[in-house]
């Protein structure tokens, strides 16, 4: 039941639930990855089952694909969809311009491709993800396994000339072995502390041979829906320049959770 959720899960849930208002029958929807995006997929599955919502979902990871199928969402590939009406995803950080750090869950490459191939991207997040300046969260960078140590050295050397406050990169691990992404790559997490010029950093990183993509999403997100543990949701729209606040009624929506579970 939603009343039994921790404040952070309530915040994620209300953001996800609010985002479903932007989803209409007939849409092709990019489905993000992570714990907040998982709430969204469950809420959409509920709407498919109970309200006759007809959507085609393009997942951004194998685990989101599995969850989407489990809850009854029709899953198609990006190649089948070609272009999407909307992508809804979580984020590790967002700033006032709705620039993002993503990839904490290791899915940044598919997430960036899918979000870029969408008319709109909505980020759903709890308020802890809001930052003044990006960079406290280590920046994930997807690199090919071949020569990754050389790539790591090149990344660290390149950072010397840039406006950042740290430059050590660590290889993401999964137990004793390097983490492997859905595309068969590794991830370097770069500890920058503060990113002065995210646009420049993103461009320069992607010039390094061996780097496939980085977790900076610049000018991709249109709207952020911020959830709070007390049920408030705030919707910020960067194109309209608007902010709206609403309160979500948990009691009214308790049945959702008794039915779809966690």
Instruction: List residues binding ligand 5RP (CB under 6 A).
Output: 32-37, 89-92, 102-108, 111
Look up 111 and say whether it is catalytic.
yes
Nearer to ligand 5RP among residue 49 and residue 63 (C-beta): 63
- Catalytic-role residue among 111, 142, 213, 234: 111
In the complex, minimum distance from the CB of residue 33 to ligand 5RP, in angstroms, rounded to a whole number: 4
Q: How far is the CB of 35 from ligand 5RP (least distance, A)?
A: 3
Kind of pairing, strands 173-174 and 93-94?
A: unpaired
Nearest to ligand 5RP of 129, 236 (CB atom): 129
Cβ–Cβ < 8 Å for 43, 16 = yes
In the beta sheet, which residues pair with residue 216? 101
Helix (H) or strand (E) holding 216: strand 216-217
Find the helix or strand (DSSP H, E) in which 212 lies.
Answer: strand 211-214
For residues 91 and 155, which CB has a smaller minimum distance to ligand 5RP in the complex? Answer: 91
Nearest to 38 by CA among 70, 2, 6: 70
| Shortest distance in whole angstroms from residue 26 CB to ligand 5RP | 26
Residues with Cβ < 8 Å from 221, sequence gap 6 or more? 91, 94, 98, 99, 100, 115, 121, 122, 123, 238
Task: Report the residue number, 34 or 45, with the smaller CB distance to ligand 5RP.
Answer: 34
- Tokens (6 digits) for 205: 């990183």
Radius of gyration of the chain (CA): 18
Sheet holding 84-89, edge to edge: 74-75, 56-59, 28-31, 84-89, 118-126, 223-227, 232-237, 242-247
Q: What is the nearest approach in angstroms of ligand 5RP to the Cβ of residue 92?
A: 5
Q: How many residues does the chain have?
A: 262
Element (H, E) at 256: helix 254-260
- 96 conformational bin, left if phi > 0, alpha if psi -120 to 50, beta if neither: alpha
Q: Which CA distances in Å does 44 have to 97, 217, 235?
A: 28, 25, 19
Closer residue to ligand 5RP in complex, CB, 154/220: 220
User: How near is the Cβ of 100 to ligand 5RP at its closest, in Å?
Assistant: 8
Nearer to ligand 5RP, 34 or 135 (CB): 34
* Residue 244: CB minimum distance to ligand 5RP, A: 22
What amino acid positions are annotated as catalytic residues? Answer: 111
């Amino acid at each position: 039941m939603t009343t039994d959720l921790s404040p952070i899960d309530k915040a994620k849930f209300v953001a996800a639930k609010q985002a479903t208002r932007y989803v209409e029958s007939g849409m092709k929807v990019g489905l993000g990855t992570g714990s907040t995006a998982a709430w969204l997929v469950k809420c959409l599955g509920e709407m498919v089952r109970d309200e006759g919502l007809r959507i085609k979902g393009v997942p951004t990871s194998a685990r989101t694909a599995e969850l989407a199928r489990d809850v009854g969402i029709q899953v198609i590939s990006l190649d089948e969809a070609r272009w999407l009406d909307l992508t809804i995803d979580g984020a590790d950080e967002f700033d006032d311009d709705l620039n993002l750090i993503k990839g904490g869950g290791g899915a940044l490459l598919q997430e960036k491709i899918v979000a870029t191939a969408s008319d709109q991207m909505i980020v759903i997040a709890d308020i802890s993800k809001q930052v003044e300046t990006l960079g406290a969260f280590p920046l994930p960078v997807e690199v090919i396994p071949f020569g990754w140590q050389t790539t790591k050295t090149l990344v660290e050397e390149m950072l010397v000339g840039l406006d950042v406050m740290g430059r050590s990169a660590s290889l993401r691990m999964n137990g004793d072995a390097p983490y492997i992404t859905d595309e068969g790559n590794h991830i370097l997490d770069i500890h920058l502390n503060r990113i002065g010029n995210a646009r420049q950093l993103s461009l320069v990183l992607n010039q390094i041979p061996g780097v496939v993509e980085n977790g900076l999403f610049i000018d991709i997100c249109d709207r952020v829906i911020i959830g709070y543990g007390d049920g408030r949701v705030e919707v910020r729209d960067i194109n309209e320049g608007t902010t709206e606040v609403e309160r979500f009624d948990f009691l009214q929506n308790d049945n959702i959770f008794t039915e779809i579970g966690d």
